[in-house]
């Protein structure tokens, strides 16, 4: 079974440039998450989708970050414009929600962003 696929794995951009990350979750998983992870820290939730609906985006900096999940499958996370402090690893995860209970999260390998 294929795992969560993310691209690109690495991205280096200059500040004020835009950047986008793509995620393909595990087939059949209806819940998708974007996390941000700084060095030496645990992942921090940016946004959670249940099917096409963003059910928790309270930690997403909406002035520069946006996300979408087309047809309840793939998702894209965009930053525009990027700032130096956005340098981090962006992790995508998916899980299966049934009867209100969410199973364990399966993570992709992450997209490492460096903003110069």
Partner 1 sequence: EDQVTQSPEALRLQEGESSSLNCSYTVSGLRGLFWYRQDPGKGPEFLFTLYSAGEEKEKERLKATLTKKESFLHITAPKPEDSATYLCAVRSSWGKLQFGAGTQVVVTP
Residues contributing to the site for partner 1 (CB under 8 A): 4, 33, 40-45, 48, 55-56, 91, 93, 101-102, 104-110
Q: Single out the residue of 24, 9, 7 nearest to residue 114, CA to CA.
A: 9
The distance of closest approach from Cβ of residue 115 to partner 1 in the complex, given in angstroms and rounded to an integer, is: 19
**Adjacent-strand bridge partners of 39:** none
Shortest distance, CB of residue 62 to partner 1, whole angstroms? 18
**Cβ closer to partner 1: 43 or 113?**
43
- Residue 114 CB, shortest distance to partner 1, in Å, is 14
């Amino acid at each position: 079974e294929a795992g969560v696929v993310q691209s690109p794995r690495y991205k280096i951009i200059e500040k004020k440039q835009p950047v986008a990350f793509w995620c393909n979750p595990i087939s059949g998983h209806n819940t998708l998450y974007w996390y941000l992870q700084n060095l030496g820290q645990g992942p921090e939730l940016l946004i959670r989708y249940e099917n096409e609906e963003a059910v928790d985006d309270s930690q997403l900096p909406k002035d520069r970050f946006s996300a979408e999940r087309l047809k309840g499958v793939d998702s894209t996370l965009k930053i525009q414009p990027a700032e130096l402090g956005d340098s981090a690893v962006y992790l995508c995860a998916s899980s299966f929600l049934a009867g209100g209970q969410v199973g364990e999260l399966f993570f992709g390998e992450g997209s490492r962003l460096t903003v110069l």
